[in-house]
Amino acid sequence: MAPPPVKYCVLSFPTPEILLVTLNRPKQLNCISAEGNEELDNVWQWLDAEPKLCVGILTGTGRAFCAGADLKEWNQANASGKQRKMPSSGFGGLSRRRGRKPVIAAVNGICFGGGCEMAINSDMVFASSSATFSLPEVKRGVVAIAGALPRIARVVGKQRAMEMALTGRVLKAEEAREWGLVNRVVEGDVVAECIAVAKEIAGNSPDAVIVSREGVNLAWEGLGADAATEKLIAESYQKLLQGENIHEGVKAFVEKRKPVWKASKL
């Protein structure tokens, strides 16, 4: 299946299993418009539907990962009385995305507002040492309403979440890592680091990756450990048991060889 048409980002494939999405509005610090939100929603849906792909990476061109919403467009919408639309998956199709396959944020620079909301809901976050994070909405009279507020509380705790949401102050990459928002701070090429991790993920059973991710997300959504485990076993795990990859993985281990995975049908 061909990828969806894009004009606000660039799609590339570091390996046949990895989709790299690069926001490409450097003069606008990769701010995302309403149309851009729909475009990215289509891209992530395509990632989930394309059998060959296992993992996605999101980054930005220039000195910003994403500085948030296109405020010029927002101002024009306010002046005309039109309401800005956003997909159910949230800002950039990512801030409220559930999805099937993991997405890694390669934060190469400024990560503000909606950009930070996307990072908060990404499966992993790798940051350049020069990257900065902020939810500055309160400084503009608006609210980080694309899903970040309840999620950031779970990531960094109530008090730190309140500090981010109520002051709008900027966190440097190392502080964001200390708070638990960032997995790793990278001195060199943050995209290369993400590709290396994505290759690790893509080398595993695609079925097991999807089901393992679902198990973590069930807890993320507030289910207790027992309830989440029961739901995972009753639903996603049963589908995994019916697939070929679980048998291939065990057989390959016994035969002391590298497994040959099939595209996931989950």
Helix (H), strand (E) counts: the chain: 11, 10
The catalytic residue positions are 69, 114, 117, 137
86, with CB counted inside 10 A (0-12, 13-18, 19+), is buried
Q: In 24-109, at which residue ranges do the beta strands (DSSP E only) sit?
A: 55-60, 64-66, 103-107
Q: Say how far apart CA 89 and CA 74 lie, in whole Å.
A: 19
Matching residue, tokens 């956003």: 86
Q: Determine how β-strand 171-172 pairs with β-strand 132-134.
A: antiparallel
Q: Say how far apart CA 235 and CA 43 lie, in whole Å.
A: 26
Q: Determine how β-strand 64-66 pairs with β-strand 18-23.
A: unpaired
Strand partners, 128: 186
Q: Please enumerate in sequence order all residues whose Cβ is within 8 A of that of 186, keeping only pairs 6 or more positions apart, or say none.
A: 126, 127, 128, 129, 193
